Structure 1
């Protein structure tokens, strides 16, 4: 039997995109994979089409913005600079299966030659991806809603990150989605690290993106004072150089905070394992924030850290169900400091032991099985 030719589209740098990297490993089990993305050729790709990282994946040109404002969505669905470049680079190449990572890749996926089967992996709730930004809310959100209404029901299969967001897709578009969490592989080589005498070590990892409230975490460790440190493993945003410079300056003014170079997704749990509490404090500015279940939650679990998160539906449930840590009362630096200050060293050690017990259940084993099942169905079809 001839193995299917698979195209994986992601308007991200896949080498730094943990979810898509895990997806690629499964895709490669079924056939040769061509990746279409920003950045270099990632692991598990047989071939790669690189998009210039300076090209926007949304129609941000003057004509594009005008068409968005006038709701001429058909005129802009393939007009974004990155989409135009990708379509030209693909030319008449044919594929049997196309994976569209996020809704914005759907219009392109349906133009790929070869009448492919299409899997849309919806990383979050597409119509509200950045609705905390006024221009996005007014111009892009209606376009993303149109893309979902136009294309989602025509995809052969769709997945998303958790049950809360799956219910939104079902309610608004009538599209059932399978759940593939942002979980990572079980790390049987890691155990909770010993706590340092007289010190509780906080750590945060992820993208240095405006709105992620990293500043509040830095301020919180200063409020906590002696006996606490904060280490940051941050990936600079591709489109926020000014914010990155301001953040680095703020970190430099905090004697208890250390900034480390970013590490690869595969290396991250090992790098985080030396610490005690993984912290994240994201204000619920969008539905995606309220229903988040991010990569870093699963990174912290496999690193065997206690977890301190700002309240959100899905993470609250797992933290309480498994006794992994605490949820803050709010999203300010003082809220985070208050939640941590009352924890004893025995409390922190207990949380680390709880993540160790839950690590296998919260690993990617069941999520990979979902991906294999749906790909087997696409290959069979």
Structure 2
């Protein structure tokens, strides 16, 4: 059985894309070890049908985190038996590339995003240049690459003359399962799921809730700006209209999302990473059969308009967004959502993944 070591820089719990990839490979005859890092105490023990490993670190953020993680990952990879290395994003690429060269192993690179273009690096020129330098040195030398959307694949092709396959981050087909919520409310729920970071449109939606007092905004996830958003909620006096649900497992999330009447993905155009974003939450909303309000950015806009499962934000002001949401919820998207959820599923993308790895071995 061919052995694949899969590397990520997170705690494995909420990374749905990597879990789907590992599951697909495991179920099709590959032996998988998924390695990440333990930053905080896990929500619960991981139950996976493949082996997992969390590297314990002294540092949990910043330069020291990335330095320590890459060093520990290098030595983990060095002494483990493997046939193929699968690196997820630039922050795991260097140790994987070095080991692939030292030990003559096949290397695959999955770019979940344009890591060097994330908003957190826009005004940090030195740090950004470090990641860009890694891209320039390594990506043109990798033969087996894939990413989440056409725009990112085109970017890498133009910048590094490297061909990336597109394997979209769509969910597995699911049956809608409404579950119990931590909260009791008779209001209609507007949901956001994902990282609570800068540029996700959450500030704008909290401001919008001043005009949607009959609705409840539920934010599922965690991140760097959570406290700032909480203070903004208090300042706007919409505490009763916003609920921070916290971080949950993908399995629990599937029972939460269908309780909503609308999901949103309103990322700001803060550099190429967000401009080309195709967040998996959009596909999760579709699987839950709730309409989507998204930013006027190319990849997400293309999905919403092609499948007619929601609307694109027309004007980014609280008053206009509130009016647009009220208008959307008078429409019936159910037929289009049912059709889209049959097409936008992992089972379709999985075939491209298996073809790539079967060719390698």
Q: For the residues of structure 2 that align with 1:125 and 1:152, how far apart are their CA atoms?
A: 12
SS at match of 1:278: strand
Matched, 1:269 2:254: yes
Q: Identify the match of residue 319 of structure 2 among 314, 334, 337.
A: 334
- The correspondence of residues 16-55 of structure 1 with structure 2, limited to 5 A, is 16-29=14-27, 30-39=29-38, 43-52=48-57, 54-55=59-60
SS at match of 2:328: coil
Name the structure 2 match of 1:167.
154
Q: For the residues of structure 2 that align with 1:316 and 1:326, how far apart are their CA atoms?
A: 8
Name the structure 2 match of 1:212.
200
Matched, 1:116 2:101: no
Q: For the residues of structure 2 that align with 1:305 and 1:81, how far apart are their CA atoms?
A: 42
CA deviation after TM superposition for structure 1 residue 367, in Å: 1.2
Deviations 1:214-271 (A, max 9, x none): 1211221222333x2222212x22xx3xx32232344464212222233212332321
Q: 1:342 to 1:44 in 2, by over 3 A?
A: same
Matched, 1:126 2:115: yes
**Structure 1 unaligned runs (5+)?**
62-78, 192-197
- The correspondence of residues 294-305 of structure 1 with structure 2, limited to 5 A, is 294-305=279-290
Name the structure 2 match of 1:284.
269
Name the structure 1 match of 2:243.
258
Work out whether residues 15 and 42 of structure 1, in 8 Å CA contact, stay in contact via their aligned partners in 2.
no
Work out whether residues 122 and 161 of structure 1, in 8 Å CA contact, stay in contact via their aligned partners in 2.
yes
CA deviation after TM superposition for structure 1 residue 42, in Å: 6.3
Q: For the residues of structure 2 that align with 1:230 and 1:330, how far apart are their CA atoms?
A: 19
Q: For the residues of structure 1 that align with 2:261 and 2:329, how far apart are their CA atoms?
A: 12
Work out whether residues 15 and 43 of structure 1, in 8 Å CA contact, stay in contact via their aligned partners in 2.
no
Q: Identify the match of residue 359 of structure 1 among 336, 341, 347.
A: 341
Q: For the residues of structure 2 that align with 1:183 and 1:53, how far apart are their CA atoms?
A: 34
Q: 1:108 to 1:86 in 2, by over 3 A?
A: same
Q: Identify the match of residue 75 of structure 2 among 84, 88, 92.
A: 88
Q: 1:90 to 1:161 in 2, by over 3 A?
A: closer
Q: 1:139 to 1:352 in 2, by over 3 A?
A: farther
Q: For the residues of structure 2 that align with 1:250 and 1:53, how far apart are their CA atoms?
A: 32
Name the structure 1 match of 2:87.
100
SS at match of 2:130: helix
The TM-score normalised by the length of structure 1 is 0.82
Q: 1:258 to 1:319 in 2, by over 3 A?
A: same
Number of aligned pairs? 343
**Structure 2 unaligned runs (5+)?**
179-185
Name the structure 2 match of 1:67.
none
Name the structure 2 match of 1:224.
212
Q: For the residues of structure 1 that align with 2:153 and 2:320, how far apart are their CA atoms?
A: 30
CA deviation after TM superposition for structure 1 residue 207, in Å: 1.1
Task: Please give the root-mean-square deviation of Cα atoms over the aligned residues, in Å.
Answer: 2.5
Q: 1:44 to 1:114 in 2, by over 3 A?
A: farther
Work out whether residues 305 and 355 of structure 1, in 8 Å CA contact, stay in contact via their aligned partners in 2.
yes
